[in-house]
């Protein structure tokens, strides 16, 4: 290579990566940044992922700031998945039905589109293990993650869904499922210890109970009613082995899916939205195991 070629190569370097990130509160326990950065490095994508502490009070300003700084998009996690809908221009079909967004795409002209990859990631994780067709499901929680999972699982073929929530707002999710999906949904007010019905096939925790740093929190369920033929899944990625996951393993449940399965699957979909590239899920999963010491 002569000096002319070297100079051409030097001046072609790009020191302005495309930016994506996450708006959540709490944010420090979210390992998404690690797996996103690992995928960007592996596939040589000129992107950086910025993890930000943002709650409801700063969310509007954060969205405007991301647009002003030319971000390509961002994730939303607790407590922003429903609130962010107010501040974006349009919704994808799935996000519109769910009424919650976890992935926002910012177009070159500054317009924003909200998508929801949580439910899709969960369906993929569970479908890799069992068929969801005709299955009966208990869904713990009725917030943004629960809405995404409930809708996507129903559209994928789950026939019956029991939704538990600590207040009456859970009726809204049940009404949505009954109106917009083929599944039959019922509501249970979660004001006492809940016994999982014996005919349940799938049990999913879509609450933040047990999320770091509150790792000693327990779900208000009777763990004795978890049976070996039930598939048990948790949304929480950190810690990987929540007390709920450990209880399911201890009760001999044949299929137990920690939250990292959904985290990796939804991250793969988000990267596709932002970059147009298909990234290797195993790269993300291996990095997640590394940073969590597994």
Q: Which two tokens stand for residue 62?
A: 């954060």
Q: What count of Cα atoms within 13 Å lies in the side-chain half-sphere of residue 255?
A: 17
The per-residue pLDDT for range 32-61, each reduced to its tens digit, is 999 999 999 999 999 999 999 999 999 999
Give yes or no for residue 12 having a pLDDT over 60. no
Assess whether pLDDT exceeds 80 at residue 79.
yes
Write the pLDDT tens digit of every residue in 244-290. 999 999 999 999 999 888 889 999 999 999 999 999 999 999 999 99
Q: What pTM was computed for the model?
A: 0.78
Which DSSP state fits 194? B
Give SS3 for 186. strand
Q: Residue 81 catalytic?
A: yes
Question: Residue 248: is the preceding peptide bond cis (ω within 30°)?
Answer: no
**142 with 85: CB under 8 angstroms?**
no
Is 228 within 8 Å of 249 (Cβ atoms)? no
What is the spatial distance between Cα 17 and Cα 104, in angstroms, rounded to a whole number? 18
Catalytic residue among 81, 120, 135, 285: 81
- Average pLDDT of the chain is 92
Question: Does position 292 have pLDDT exceeding 80, yes or no?
Answer: yes
pLDDT given at position 145: 84
Q: How far apart are CA 176 and CA 193, in angstroms?
A: 25
């Amino acid at each position: 290579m002569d000096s002319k070629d070297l100079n051409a190569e030097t001046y072609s370097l790009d020191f302005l990566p495309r930016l994506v990130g996450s708006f959540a509160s709490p944010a420090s326990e979210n390992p998404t940044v690690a797996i996103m950065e690992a995928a960007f490095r592996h596939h040589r994508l000129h992107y950086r992922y910025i993890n930000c502490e943002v709650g409801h009070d700063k969310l509007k300003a954060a969205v405007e700031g991301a647009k002003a700084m030319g971000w390509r998009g961002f994730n939303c996690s607790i407590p922003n998945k429903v609130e962010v809908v107010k501040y974006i221009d349009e919704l994808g079909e799935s996000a519109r039905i769910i009424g919650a967004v976890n992935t926002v795409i910012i177009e070159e002209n500054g317009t924003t589109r909200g998508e929801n990859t949580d439910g899709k990631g969960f369906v993929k994780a569970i479908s890799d293990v069992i068929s969801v067709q005709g299955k009966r499901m208990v869904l713990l929680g009725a917030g943004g993650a629960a809405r995404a999972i409930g809708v996507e699982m129903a559209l994928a073929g789950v026939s019956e869904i029991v939704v538990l929530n600590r207040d009456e707002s859970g009726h809204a999710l049940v009404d949505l499922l009954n109106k917009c999906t083929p599944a039959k949904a019922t509501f249970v007010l979660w004001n006492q210890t809940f016994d999982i019905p014996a005919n349940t096939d799938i049990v999913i925790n879509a609450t933040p109970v047990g999320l770091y740093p509150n790792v000693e929190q327990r779900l208000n369920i009777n763990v004795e009613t978890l049976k070996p033929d039930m598939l048990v899944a948790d949304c929480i990625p950190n810690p990987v082995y929540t007390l709920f996951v450990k209880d399911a393993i201890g009760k001999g449940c044949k299929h137990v899916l920690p939250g990292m399965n959904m985290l990796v699957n939804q991250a793969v979909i988000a990267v596709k939205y932002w970059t147009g590239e298909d990234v290797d899920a195993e790269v993300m999963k291996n990095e997640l195991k590394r940073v969590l010491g597994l």
